[in-house]
Chains A and B, each alone.
Chain A
Amino acid sequence: MISKEQGEEKSEGASEDIIYRIEIPANRYDLLCLEGLARALLIFQGKMKIPHYKAVTPASRHTQKILVKPATAQVRPYVVGAVLRDITFTRDNYKSFIDLQDKLHQNLCRRRALVAIGTHDLDTLTGPFTYDAQVPKEIRFKPLNEMKEYTAEELMELYSTDSHLKPYLQIIKDKPVYPVIYDQNRVVLSMPPIINGDHSKITLETKNVLIECTAVDLYKAKVVLDTLVCMFSQYCKEPFTVERVEVTQANGRKSVYPELIYQQAVVSVSEINKSLGIDESSASVVELLNKMSIHSTIVEGKKGGQTSKISVAVPPTRHDIIHPCDIMEDVAIAYGYNNIKMSIPHTVTIAEQCPLNKLTDQLRVELSQSGFTEALTFTLCSKEDISDKLRRTNGTSEAVHIANPKTIEFQVARTTLMSGLLKTLQANKKMPLPLKLFEISDVVLKDNTRDVGARNERRLCAVNYNKSPGFEIIHGLLDRIMQLLEISYGKEKEGYFIRTAEDPAFFPGRCADVVVRGKAIGKLGVLHPEVVTAFDLSLPCAVLEINIQPFL
């Protein structure tokens, strides 16, 4: 199975047969059902000819028509449709038909938000159909698999406890009008994107299927419709042939669906060879593409020559192909990635380190040599981690805030490395004392001079946790760091010193600013006892936190 759908072999003890686990790429909607997968494999193996998908228009009086009312513009403006004529359902293909709709609803239709599919037994209905949008209490019908009629309002209530349908309710819940499709006799086909009517539900005995797709995105509706009919027209009396439906917009414009367009493209064989690093003849590339169900022919140039071009017709099952590079990928897949000869790029470059990361790595090694152990803590944290727990009531004002955190652990990006280290201490209280930790990492600060309104700042933070605070140890570490950075002690312009400072996180009188070349770049001191206890610690703790970017 050398094809796109190649899976990992996995034999399961109980069965003699080899079971293949097949991973379908997220853009290959044509492989989501067994019909499409089997078809692609048979064509790849040369056991089946590439089908030609065809849409036909019956005589006008037999054409199914859908009229779109202007009110739909307020909620879900588009509808497309098709008829599968003379289809034969079996238990298996019926189930596959339903499954494919479910899968399409989940991915391409974005959980029905963009497109919703309705399938109906055409013989229970009478066209033409009307696609309208009405005030919820005016819509009334018997929904699929229910025993009685409900208004749309009642349905929303009924389904608010239905785990399957509940997620879709919010798509239309707050809209003034809800979409609804009627037949000529005011029979409700469906109330998209929530539920179909019970009246027209399809069964194993259904012979003629009307498919309607309502949408806020017309392009996606067309893709969904093409995919469904290409897959299941296989079971029609005339395989791979679909009957068109005429849709008349509110402005009177008429369109017919499905479109089933074959995109024509011309690709260069040499470009494909060049991009992939292979050397195949035109005939061979044509063969590879045909294996991938993309019908192609040589159009010009000598057979196998470097100027050869190939004409391809991208089938309506392959809406993922939007550029010649997609065709090139299919050639690569058919050729087999693992058959491509590996080679080293000719690109010669001189490497360079990012100066900030270079400095960081140098300091990390030095700090660990000074007896401190490196921690690696999370960037995201709770608001209280950087404010209340540090006694910094204003602590979140310069922080960037997350709009959609799943837990309080991800409310803000940290503005200090201290809390992460204190939490690491808390989780390691049983380690022998003293506990000496450090981290050199980024904090995030709001900064409206930047295009995104925020910037990172590389900080160095170290803590000493012991029976005595060990301010002198943290102070000694600062001296060592300055020595490494070749900054000498002194209050003159080029030197560094520390001077008394106030910070609610520190014990009064035990906190100092670190001043380098006349600018405060951080603080050191003994933590305030309330900070110690807020982090569920019990011993004194000395901390140093500085910005290292000024040393670049």
Chain B
Amino acid sequence: MADTTTHVLEHLAECGPIDSLTLAVKLGTDHQRIVGAVKSLQSLGNVITAEQRSSKQWELTKEGEEVVEKGSHEALVYYNVPEEGISQKELMQTIPNAKVGFSKAMSAGWLMVDKTAEGGPKIRRKVDKIHDDVQECLLKFKNMNIDDIIESQKQDFKKRKLLQEVTVKSYWLEKGPQFSLTVEKQETDLTPEMIATGSWKEKKFKPYNFDALGVPLECGHLHPLMKVKTEVRQIFLEMGFTEMATNNYVESSFWNFDTLFVPQKHPARDMQDTFYLSDPVHANEFPLEYLERVETVHSVGGYGSQGYNYEWKFEETKKNVMRTHTTAVSARMLYRLAQQKKFIPVKYFSIDKVFRNENLDATHLAEFHQVEGVVADYGLTLGNLMGLFKEFFNKLGIRNLRFKPTYNPYTEPSMEIFSYHEGLKKWVEVGNSGMFRPEMLLPMGLPKDVAVLAWGLSLERPTMIKYGIDNIRELVGHKVNLKWFIVTLYAD
């Protein structure tokens, strides 16, 4: 390659501008080698200028090459006809292109058919000597003496598929502003040796291509939903909330429903909505005095309530379920709080999995993460609850809140929280909330004046809205596309 480079430079110095194709012929080398040399010269800066051109050119086909080598088909046929003649059938088997050659030889008047010969018609030579013009012509071609050949002949050869017209890309080469006959080889990159010996000072380095992208890094990623979880967890901690231990997915109906004043015939307790356990089918330990108070408040009321007026069954409260909300844990925590001698105000939160026996679709899975916040103190108001939301959701980047009445069995008043979504151009529900009912709190033994504010939301929903995902399976579970993790950012 270096040689070719030198030859190109020398030729440019001596003979001036030239087309790379012509140069290849002159130097007797392959055109591709010239192109390689030109490219490497270009990378050195302005040593030469090379302007790309394309031209049409005639070129021998494979068949044409054969003709140059062996002679035209008609000539070959002629030579294959012996003195005494040959039958047409035999002649046809002598060479591959005999049929074409025969008709050409006939029309050139080189052969004749002797119909009177013994044993059927025979082909005989009509002339003693022939001149193979076709071969001669194509040979000129090969040697680039194109001008000698007339246009009609070219077209004839093209028709015979001996010649073809091709587009050739070449360079018009001229000396560049920094033309020099001696070019130093450029280094691709800095090496430890260069640093050690100081040779980098003398070397020239190939320029980098700053338009290309870097190499993709091999690195680990956190799950996008878990990133949002971390963010929400951080917000709760900033607001002074203590994290509840929620690592108990199996819960008794007692803690999951009954303590929360959810009547035993409530639709949420249907087999269609809740996963019940067949093993272990029952819970076997309950705080019995409390359980009795729960039974009473459900069936006949108390604490200022009429209750639900139905026959409360122990059989039902024993049943184990996969917890349907983390509020079951809040109930345990509040009960524990009530057992202390002196009530101490608390702020609790949790973010963990809950389970619903739902029909699955693009937005519903059988398990999702519930975010829950609970505040218990004397003299809390509904205005406090809304004030908390404002702060909490502001930190999540959700402003512009509105509240709508709703119904939850264990909160009164209850409110759904909506936020106006600029992207979706509508109000979307971001959470559900309320003040826990006295029927839930008083049987636990909490002081009468203590109010408990609570709110909950799913972690998945705001995450889906944030990342613009419409199918929850793209976010959670084993069917996620890991590629997507790489491009997701941290939550705001």
Contacts and interface: CB of A to CB of B under 8 A. Distances in A.
B30 interface: no
Contacts of A163: none
B405 interface: yes
B247 A356 contact: yes
Contacts of A406: 357, 359
B350 to A, nearest CB: 8
B251 A452 contact: yes
A347 B375 contact: yes
A352 B485 contact: no
B337 interface: no
Contact of A401 (B241, B277, B375, B479): B277
A373 B265 CA distance: 44
Contact of A371 (B218, B404, B412, B453): B218
Nearest to A326: B412
A452 B250 contact: yes
B284 to A, nearest CB: 7
Contact of A276 (B267, B322, B382, B483): B382
B284 A453 contact: yes
Interface string A328-353: 11001100011011111111111111
Contacts of A409: 366
Contact of B220 (A276, A344, A436, A454): A436
Contacts of B479: 427
Interface string A288-320: 000000000000000000000000000000001
Interface string B268-294: 000100011111111111100000000
Given A274-B381, A329-B413, A454-B250, A448 B243 contact: no
Given A323-B304, A349-B346, A453 B453 contact: no
Given A347-B375, A436-B220, A376 B477 contact: yes
Interface string B455-488: 0000000000000000000001111111101000
- Interface centre among B278, B347, B482, by most chain A C-beta atoms within 10 angstroms, is B482
Contacts of A276: 381-383, 413
A140 B113 CA distance: 111
A410 B366 contact: yes
A348 B240 contact: yes
B373 to A, nearest CB: 11
Contact of A4 (B303, B355, B405, B451): B405
- Interface centre among A277, A401, A442, by most chain B C-beta atoms within 10 angstroms, is A277
A325 interface: yes
- Interface centre among B220, B240, B451, by most chain A C-beta atoms within 10 angstroms, is B220
B366 A375 contact: no
B240 A350 contact: yes
A344 B404 contact: no
Interface string A436-457: 1110001010101001111110
A345 B240 contact: no
B278 to A, nearest CB: 4
A361 B438 CA distance: 36
Interface string B31-63: 000000000000000000000000000000000
A204 interface: no
Nearest to B358: A406
Contact of B405 (A110, A329, A435, A455): A329
Contacts of A437: 482
Nearest to A106: B267
A337 B386 contact: yes
Contact of A337 (B308, B415, B438): B415
Nearest to A376: B223
Interface stretch (B1-9, B69-77, B387-395): B387-395
Contacts of A341: 383
B275 A405 contact: yes
A361 B198 CA distance: 48
Contact of A402 (B238, B278, B384, B483): B278
Given A277-B383, A345-B388, A431-B483, A333 B248 contact: no
A369 B220 contact: yes
Interface in B224-241: 225-226, 230, 233, 236-241
A372 interface: yes
A361 B427 CA distance: 33
Interface in B367-414: 367, 375, 377, 379-384, 386-391, 402-407, 412-414
A46 B438 CA distance: 32
B445 interface: no
A405 B309 CA distance: 32
A114 to B, nearest CB: 7
Given A323-B437, A379-B353, A453-B280, A277 B406 contact: no
Interface of A: 4, 6, 8, 23, 25-28, 107, 110, 114, 217, 219-220, 263, 274-278, 320, 322-326, 328-329, 332-333, 337-338, 340-354, 356-357, 361, 364-365, 367-380, 400-406, 409-410, 413, 420-421, 423-424, 426-428, 431, 435-438, 442, 444, 446, 448, 451-456, 458
Given A343-B384, A380-B367, 15 more contacts: A28-B407, A110-B267, A337-B386, A345-B384, A346-B377, A349-B241, A351-B240, A373-B220, A374-B222, A376-B477, A420-B478, A423-B478, A427-B479, A452-B248, A452-B320
13 contacts: A8-B427, A325-B413, A332-B405, A342-B383, A348-B240, A351-B239, A351-B347, A376-B476, A377-B477, A401-B278, A402-B276, A413-B250, A420-B478
Interface of B: 218-223, 225-226, 230, 233, 236-252, 265, 267, 271, 275-286, 301, 303-310, 320, 322, 345-347, 353, 355, 357, 359, 365-367, 375, 377, 379-384, 386-391, 402-407, 412-415, 426-427, 435, 437-439, 451, 453, 476-483, 485
